[in-house]
């Protein structure tokens, strides 16, 4: 077992112990041990083999035994027993927001509730409100939480759907009977969350393509299968639909099935206004609904359809009926940002807080990816659960990064690490670090990580206050939402954007696929106010560098161009921009 797997078992043990009602010190010991193991700088099996676990702070004798058993045998009897003794329904309840181990234990002890279904019924019967420590409001919240869970369950993050769609498209492309194929639907529009994967192919032998598609690996179940379309359920629970059309129909089918539905309605009406008909089978010279090939306005590509409708090409990401059609009527659309325009990420973590690699390893990896810079912005001290840094450790980290950069310079490479912090915006709106410390750092991101339950006015004021600090460059993940997991906290986003415009503060587009925060729907407003965007990975591991690509897709949905995004700048120009707000304050 590797570090990550061992840490996961330890965290699970802590949770199970909490459900059992064990004392908090014992559960805390497991959580801390998990963190320690995960961020260990040497291989765990080596430490175990050399019997040096005891040298590690916070790993007592009982934990040493358990970790050794896990590493050497791959399982742990204590964990297996604990799992067997806990009703699985209790563990499932942990997923409901506002329900911690303590409350779940109380529900179990008092009402015998051991499944989510029983809990839902008890809420509906009004039996929860009367329990000590619960009340009407909690009961409503639990019920809403259960309902939200259910609606989340049928939706998926784009990061989960994309790789599956890519491998199916690759398979289709390799089939000799497939002429053209593409993703369509919300996936092609790069929505942050999608219902199902839509695929489109053109072929003279649709039945054979369908047969081939439904026999692909990774399919758990064929839900429907006809001559020209099929629906399958993929491992991981996402549904995929494939439609096969003739190549003559391909362009209009692609346009139609890419949507969105609202965009399609406006396009269809536009065709009617021009004396034409647009449907999934083609663009027709007709005043009535038709599929008659003789009336077809032959368009091989989507571009040609747009052109015949008097429109410039609209990229799929923009097809959301947000005014894009009116814009495409006036002239060519702005050239949207491409992910390859990005030169680095300014918000990232290292082992100094809750990241998984140290700055030196990160520098090496990001330089190899061909990036120009990478900000190390670990958490500040109030984020103790993320091992946040105090001022002393920040200054130690500054020295370490200066040394790494000196070595990079000596080696003759232009890549640089940027120093920084993701400083907590505290409950009262003050920042976790004083200005003089912030002034020493290349990049300062201010984020909210606590007190999510304040009023909209309070949270908005907290963020505006942070924007007004002359040393804060960027507001991080503005609403704190976790897609399909946690609702955003209440905040007047436009008021915060206005404050950023006034103070010259940038706003992050956090490219973590669970965040994509600020939401794409608000970027046109931010842009209209002159607020710049920074597409940040919020990386905690090497692999998260790939979020740049996803983030750029979301920025495209927000109509952003390269000029709107600060981290498309080369290093020197970026450093210049980073100095701007501070110079203004002086
Ligand atoms: P999803 O799957 O919920 O994330 O969203 P979409 O947009 O992928 O929707 P889906 O899978 O139901 O349908 C795929 C595309 O088909 C959609 O983007 C637009 C088109 N479409 C579906 N239903 C209608 C409709 O009733 N009218 C029009 N005009 N187009 C539709
Ligand atoms: Ca879809
Ligand atoms: Ca669909
Ligand atoms: Zn962060």
The residue among 524, 546, 548, 545 whose CA lies nearest residue 534 is 548
More confident site: 349 or 23: 349
Higher pLDDT, 43 or 499: 499
Distance of CA 322 to the CA centre of its chain: 23
Q: Quick one: pLDDT at residue 585?
A: 77
Q: Sort strands 239-245 and 277-279 into parallel, antiparallel or unpaired.
A: unpaired
H or E element, residue 574? helix 571-585
CB of 564 closer than 6 A to ligand 1?
A: no
The total of other beta-carbon atoms located within 10 Å of residue 529's CB is: 14
pTM of the model as a whole: 0.85
Please write the tens of the pLDDT for every residue from 64-112: 999 999 999 999 999 999 989 998 899 888 888 778 888 999 999 999 9
pLDDT band at 584 (very low <50, low <70, confident <90, very high): confident
Output the residue whose Cα is nearest ligand 1's atom 3: 195
In ligand 1, which atom is closest to the CA atom of 258? Answer: 18
Whether the Cβ atoms of residue 445 and residue 477 lie closer than 8 Å to each other? no
Range of lowest pLDDT (108-112, 113-117, 485-489, 581-585): 581-585
Q: Atom 20 in ligand 1: which residue has the minimum CA distance?
A: 257
Can you tell me the mean pLDDT for 508-516?
98
Contacts of 43 (CB under 8 A, 6+ apart): none
Residue nearest to atom 24 of ligand 1 (CA): 261
CA of 169 from ligand 3 middle (Å) equals 16
Which atom of ligand 1 has the smallest separation from the CA of 256?
20
What would the mean pLDDT of 16-21 be, rounded to a whole number? Answer: 89
Task: State which ligand 1 atom lies nearest to the alpha carbon of 187.
Answer: 8
CA of 296 from ligand 4 middle (Å) equals 53
Instruction: Judge contact between 535 and 550, C-beta under 8 A.
Output: no
Residue nearest atom 16 in ligand 1 by C-alpha distance: 257
**Is the CB of residue 261 below 6 angstroms from any atom belonging to ligand 1?**
yes
Candidates 320, 305, 303; CA nearest to 190 is 320
Averaged pLDDT, 537-566 = 98
Cβ atoms 220, 233 nearer than 8 A: yes
pLDDT > 90? residue 537 = yes
The stretch 158-184 carries a mean pLDDT of 97
| pLDDT attached to residue 339 | 97
Q: What is the mean pLDDT of residues 451-479?
A: 97
- Indicate whether residue 151 lines ligand 1 (CB < 6 A): no
Q: How many CA atoms lie within 13 A of 150 on its CB side?
A: 9
As a whole number of angstroms, the distance between CA 382 and CA 454 comes to: 18
- Ligand 4 centroid to Cα of residue 151, in Å, is 28
Q: Cα-atom radius of gyration of the chain, to the nearest Å?
A: 27
Average pLDDT over residues 221-246: 96
Strands (E), 382-475: 416-424, 443-447, 474-475
The pLDDT, as a whole number, for residue 393 is 97
State whether the beta carbon of 198 lies less than 6 angstroms from ligand 1: yes
Alpha-helix runs per DSSP H in 174-301: 185-188, 206-214, 250-258, 261-273
Nearest ligand (C-alpha, residue 379):
4
Give the per-residue pLDDT at 58.
Answer: 86
Q: Which atom of ligand 1 is nearest to the CA of 185?
A: 8
Pairwise CA distance, residues 364 & 586, whole Å: 36
Confidence at residue 236, expressed as pLDDT on a 0 to 100 scale: 87
CB of 432 closer than 6 angstroms to any ligand 1 atom: no
Query: If you measure from the C-alpha of residue 420 to the centroid of ligand 2, how many angstroms do you get, rounded to a whole number?
Result: 40
Ligand 1 touching residue 419 (CB < 6 A): no
Ligand 1 in contact with 196 (CB < 6 A)? yes
Range 432-449 average pLDDT: 97
CA of 214 to the centre of ligand 1 (A): 22
pLDDT score, position 91: 87
Closest ligand by atom to 259 CA: 1
Ligand 1 atom with the shortest distance to the CA of 260: 18
pLDDT at 445: 98
137-151, 163-177, 453-467, range with the lowest pLDDT: 137-151
Ligand 1 atom closest to the CA of 197, numbered from 1: 2
> 153, 232, 259: which to mutate for ligand 1, most atoms within 8 A of CB?
259
Q: In the structure, what pLDDT confidence band is assigned to residue 24 with cuts at 50, 70 and 90?
A: confident
Averaged over 453-478, what is the pLDDT?
97
- C-beta of residue 581 within 8 angstroms of C-beta of residue 503: yes
Encoded tokens for 128: 């929860």
Does residue 260 line the site of ligand 1, with CB under 6 A?
Answer: yes
Nearest CA to ligand 1 atom 14: 185
pLDDT at 511: 98
Comparing CA positions, the residue from 409, 412, 433 lying closest to residue 423 is 433
Q: Ligand 1 within 6 A of 271 CB?
A: no
Atom 31 in ligand 1: which residue has the minimum CA distance? 261
- The share of the chain scoring above pLDDT 70, in percent, equals 100
Identify which of 261, 266, 316, 319 to mutate to test ligand 1's pocket (most ligand atoms within 8 A of the CB). Answer: 261
Percent of the chain residues topping a pLDDT of 90: 87
Average pLDDT for the chain: 95
Q: How confident is the model at residue 335 (pLDDT cuts 50, 70, 90)?
A: very high
Instruction: For residues 513-542, give the mean pLDDT.
Output: 98
Question: Residues 97, 486: contact at Cβ < 8 Å?
Answer: yes
Cα distances (Å, whole numbers) of residue 336 to 332, 421, 555, 556: 11, 30, 8, 6
């Amino acid at each position: 077992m590797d570090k990550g797997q061992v840490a996961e078992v330890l965290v699970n043990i802590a949770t199970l112990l909490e459900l059992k009602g064990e004392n908090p010190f014992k559960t805390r010991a497991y959580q801390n041990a998990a963190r320690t193991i995960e961020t260990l700088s040497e291989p765990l099996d080596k430490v175990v083999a050399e019997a040096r676990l005891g040298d590690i702070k916070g790993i007592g004798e009982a934990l040493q035994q358990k970790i050794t058993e896990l590493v050497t045998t791959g399982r742990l009897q204590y964990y297996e027993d604990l799992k067997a003794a806990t009703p699985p329904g209790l563990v499932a309840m942990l997923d409901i927001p506002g329900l911690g181990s303590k409350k779940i234990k109380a529900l179990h002890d008092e009402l015998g509730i051991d499944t989510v279904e029983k809990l839902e019924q008890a809420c509906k019967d009004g039996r929860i409100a009367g329990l000590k420590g619960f009340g009407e409001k909690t009961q409503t919240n639990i019920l809403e939480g259960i309902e939200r869970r259910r609606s989340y369950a049928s939706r998926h993050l784009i990061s989960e759907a994309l790789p599956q769609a890519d491998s199916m498209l690759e398979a289709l492309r390799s089939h000799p009977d497939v002429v053209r194929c593409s993703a369509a639907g919300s996936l092609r529009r790069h929505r942050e969350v999608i219902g199902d994967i839509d695929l489109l192919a053109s072929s003279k032998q649709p039945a054979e393509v369908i047969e081939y598609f439904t026999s692909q690996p990774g399919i758990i179940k064929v839900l429907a299968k006809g001559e020209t379309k099929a629906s399958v359920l993929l491992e991981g629970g996402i549904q995929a639909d494939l439609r096969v059309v003739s190549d003559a129909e391909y362009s209009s089918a692609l346009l139609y099935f890419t949507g969105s539905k609202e965009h399609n309605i406006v396009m269809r009406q536009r065709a009617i206004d021009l004396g034409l008909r647009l449907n999934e089978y083609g663009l027709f010279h007709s005043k009535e609904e038709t599929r008659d090939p003789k009336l077809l306005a032959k368009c091989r590509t989507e571009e040609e359809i747009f052109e015949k409708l008097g429109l410039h090409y609209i990229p799929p990401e923009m097809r959301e009926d947000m005014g894009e059609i009116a814009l495409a009527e006036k002239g060519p659309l702005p050239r949207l940002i491409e992910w390859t325009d990005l030169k680095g990420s300014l918000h990232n973590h290292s082992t100094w807080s809750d990241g998984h690699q140290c700055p030196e390893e990160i520098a090496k990896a990001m330089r190899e990816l061909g990036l120009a810079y990478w900000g190390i912005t670990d958490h500040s001290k109030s984020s103790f659960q993320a091992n946040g840094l105090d001022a002393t450790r920040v200054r130690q980290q500054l020295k370490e990064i200066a040394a790494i950069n000196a070595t990079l310079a000596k080696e003759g490479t232009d890549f640089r690490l940027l120093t920084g912090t993701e400083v907590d915006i505290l409950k009262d709106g003050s920042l976790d670090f004083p200005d003089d410390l912030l002034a020493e750092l290349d990049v300062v991101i201010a984020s909210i990580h606590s007190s999510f339950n304040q009023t909209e006015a309070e949270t908005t004021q907290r963020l505006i206050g942070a924007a007004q600090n002359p040393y804060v460059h960027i507001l991080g993940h503005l609403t704190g939402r976790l897609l399909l997991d946690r609702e955003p906290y209440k905040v007047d986003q436009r008021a915060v954007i206005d404050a950023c415009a006034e103070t010259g503060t940038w706003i992050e587009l956090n490219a973590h696929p669970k965040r994509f925060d600020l939401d794409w729907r608000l970027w046109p407003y931010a842009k209209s106010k002159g607020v710049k965007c920074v597409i940040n990975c919020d990386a905690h591991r090497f692999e998260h560098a790939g979020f740049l690509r996803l983030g750029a897709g979301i920025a495209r949905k927000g109509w952003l161009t390269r000029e709107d995004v600060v981290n498309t700048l080369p290093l020197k120009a970026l450093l210049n921009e980073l100095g701007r707000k501070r110079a203004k304050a002086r």
